[in-house]
Structure 1
């Protein structure tokens, strides 16, 4: 069985690891000092050689993204950290920033030095106020210790870091929508090209990376590219945080090499909850095609998951046992995507609305002949035609669920999902339906 590889999570159990003192006690900011003595180009080459790929979903090589920036022209260039984590089932960046914010700050400083950036931004989800405050404190402490600001550690390198709280729009996880929001405009995706590397924040060259991607940089600097490539697979190198939630005995964050399987992770997590068996699961959040028990041994790396018909995404492994209605689960996800559609393009704006209507009809047992074909047809009209990936992601759970569990959708023509799969059986906690009116002892006025 593969072993856990605590790197980003290594100090989570320490005494107050989120403080500057706690972080430096475990070797924090040594990588920054080492980096400032290196040539910036060598840092970019090191990250390229490490094989680090974006940990936010798409898996694009991080060092290659840095290398896309045009030659310096005397104007500013920016680093933007996408901390707007909001994919259903995804919960790795928020606990990382809460438990170990300084590793992100150090990664921001190293990355900024490597790409020639003197003003970096961390765009964090506004609802997580506790994380926002912790990041503000970490940045303030880093300034006070000389890790940020003017002439960092006598190197001649200057860097300012701004922590910005978004307003809570899922679409702002898309990098260009995030940039528009950061500039004070409505968060909607931009037409590409030009790509952010050429014309990003304030129309200047910009690198946009995920929290976990940037937080992985300090360890690569101190450990070296060969150390990082010694973990994971040939094309999906290194370690990553896997978020297990749902019907699992011990849900939580498991940091392991890429290429580990769900079967191995479940062994570490105590398996599916007692007395039940795995029915379906998501390998990378709700916007990735679902898997079933037959995929337990698929290596969780970008290539293997893709070859099996899904995407590794954010490594948000939502586990569902046999008590769960697939139709109900997919309907809830679709509610989310319909609500979070920014409305810029017709396929997503209108398509997710109609998907939602049909799914709720099937969930209620009021499905009509042809509803399943309608779902597939609408998904086909969204896929590849939406302005950004939100539309494509909204279709993935629907098409894959119909592929593996078509009979449940057909049952929606005559039987409510609540009868086939009573909600109290799949609830993780004591399930007591809300009582209102006379049933609750309330006498109408």
Structure 2
């Protein structure tokens, strides 16, 4: 399938991370055009493009920008509209299997910096923060260098490109907590507090960083913005389905011949991506895969032709998430894989709410018993009961995500769990077990 790279078009350029390489490939053309427009015109353009957040939730980007309270012409601003506006970039990529944002920041950091400048101008912000995962040391250094180059060239700072618009950008390294990928926990971390999710409402658009109106966007989302401005809304919508348009970076890993990043239009199927990656490793067959990372319900071979866009994946019973496509074959134990994922969530739970803090701990204990061959028939029901007590009851989406792999694995591969039970426990199986998927998995 012939593809024209957009987000990854500079990856093959020599020293692609430098300002010289970026400017030689239409870099900052979008910012120049944006500064000739009004902020409201920019917001409308991004709305019309259909760009949706690439961080997992898929919320319309232009709509999120429009939620920021702005002062009305001729009136003295009061309330949230009178406060400064902030833009925060969520570059805390920590979802297991996800590797799209860090390579982008390594290979093409100026696309993010340009996207930040355009977005900040659109929401009338004069201060932006790029919150980078602490372990991503090299990406952090690349971004710091890119921001310094942008300041020196007049793309950031006072009177950006002679427009009269001022923008300060800070690159901040987080402390390595997965929970800080949740936007309000990220804001708490930025303010110097322990990273824990906040109660919503109020939402960040009204009371975010330092209690002021704040937009939180993902790296890939903002890196897409310069292309929207350069090409126009209609051009951007030509990629993929109408409700989920645009180019997308898919992270393909696991039992494939050529794991890596593959850019394709939204709505590309897993079958097409596998073809690009050389297929499942020779002599083996695909067993299960994740469409959006470990916090999304598993898919199987029957889902290979599901278009990988937000709405189609949701209709098929999972979530597009971060498009972290982890591929497993018949040699992999789905119970062991699920145990590994659950151990991660139990470790990364911030502990703020009881369902997640206690529930993920007990999920690990049950799964470990099953993997060790010490499980009972009732443990299968207990797994689902525990998931049911977490799903929809935890403070943020971490708890919900922890249940996804368990519920979906029991839905599609119940026999794999049963096979791990001792012989006498297998004999007890029958009508005593519910084995019905919980919540959204029903």
TM range (shorter): over 0.9
Distance, in Å, in 2 between the alignment partners of 1:210 and 1:252 is: 20
Alignment of 1:287 onto 2:295: yes
Q: What is the total number of aligned residue pairs between the two structures?
A: 414
Per the TM alignment, residue 6 of structure 1 is displaced from its structure 2 partner at its CA by: 1.0
Asked if 1:260 corresponds to 2:268, the answer is: yes
Per-residue CA deviations over 1:365-416 (Å, capped at 9, x if unaligned) read 111120000000000000000000000000000000011110111122128x
Task: Determine whether 1:379 maps to 2:399.
Answer: no
Q: How does 1:31-50 map to 2 (within 5 A)?
A: 31-50=30-49
The match for 2:245 is 237
Shift of 1:75: 2.7
- Is 2:7–2:247's contact at 8 Å kept on the other side of the alignment? no
Confirm or deny: 8 A CA contact 2:292 2:324 kept in the other structure.
Answer: yes
Question: What does residue 19 of structure 1 align with?
Answer: 18
Task: Please list the CA deviations of residues 338-360 of structure 1 after superposition, one character each: whole Å capped at 9, or x if unmatched.
Answer: 00000000000000000000001
395, 405, 419: which one aligns with 1:397: 405
Match of 2:177 among 165, 169, 181: 169
> Aligned pair 1:64/2:63, yes or no?
yes
Distance 1:278 1:404 in 2: 14
Q: Which runs of 4+ in 1 moved over 6 A?
A: none
Normalised TM-score (structure 2): 0.93
CA distance in 2, matches of 1:205, 1:24: 32
3-state secondary structure, aligned to 2:249: strand
Q: Distance in 1 between matches of 2:3 and 2:310?
A: 19
Q: Which residue of the partner structure matches residue 110 of structure 2? A: 102
* Alignment of structure 1 residues 80-95 onto 2, 5 Å: 80-95=88-103
**Is the CA contact 2:87–2:214 (under 8 Å) kept in the aligned structure 1?**
yes
Unpaired runs of 5+ in structure 2? 72-76, 424-442
Tell me which residue corresponds to 2:50: 51
8 Å CA contact 2:390, 2:403 repeated in 1: yes
> What TM-score, normalized to structure 1?
0.92
Distance 1:367 1:412 in 2: 8
**2:27 aligns to what?**
28
**Does the CA-based 8 Å contact 1:249-1:271 persist in structure 2?**
yes
Matches within 5 A, 1:24-423: 24-72=23-71, 73=77, 74-414=82-422
Q: Equivalent residue of 1:216, what SS?
A: helix
Structure 2 Cα separation of the partners of residues 219 and 405 of structure 1: 42
The alignment's C-alpha RMSD in Å is 0.8
Counterparts of 2:418 and 2:297, CA distance in 1: 20
Give the distance between the partners of 2:242 and 2:138, measured in 1 at CA: 38
Contact 1:5-1:239 within 8 A present in 2 as well? no
* 2:6 corresponds to 1:7: yes
